[in-house]
Amino acid sequence: MKINIQIVREINGKKFYSFTKRQRGSVNRARIKKSLLERDGDTCFYCGKPLENYCTVEHILSISNGGTNSIENLVLSHDKCNREAKSLSCYEKMNLAVKNRIKKHV
């Protein structure tokens, strides 16, 4: 199988990748998660708590609503947080993230 990963952006010497549905192998998922961890740190996008051993890659703007698989549209989250945000719009997801992070600091 030929793996074709497109480098979307390079920031401070770190490369961030994009992938297509055909390329969703475990090697590519690991690269995507590594890029997201380097960019965002090891906290859940929604609740701001540290990620555990298992986390999910979440689309901010879902594919069904015109979102892409580019690194700019992806974040890491806990599985539970991902399920809570699954059917929300992009705007609602951002509000959920802000609301949960405020709760964490209060």
Query: pLDDT digits over 47-69, tens only?
Result: 888 987 778 898 998 888 888 88
How far apart CA 5 and CA 68 sit, in angstroms, is 14
Q: How, if at all, do strands 6-11 and 56-59 pair?
A: unpaired
Structural domains in the chain plus CATH codes: 6-105 (1.10.30.50)
pLDDT single digits (tens) 26-37: 567 788 888 999
* Under 8 Å between Cβ of 76 and 45: yes
Residue 100, token pair as written in the block: 């949960």
Q: What's the predicted TM-score (pTM) here?
A: 0.67
Query: Which residues on adjacent β-strands are paired with residue 76?
Result: 57
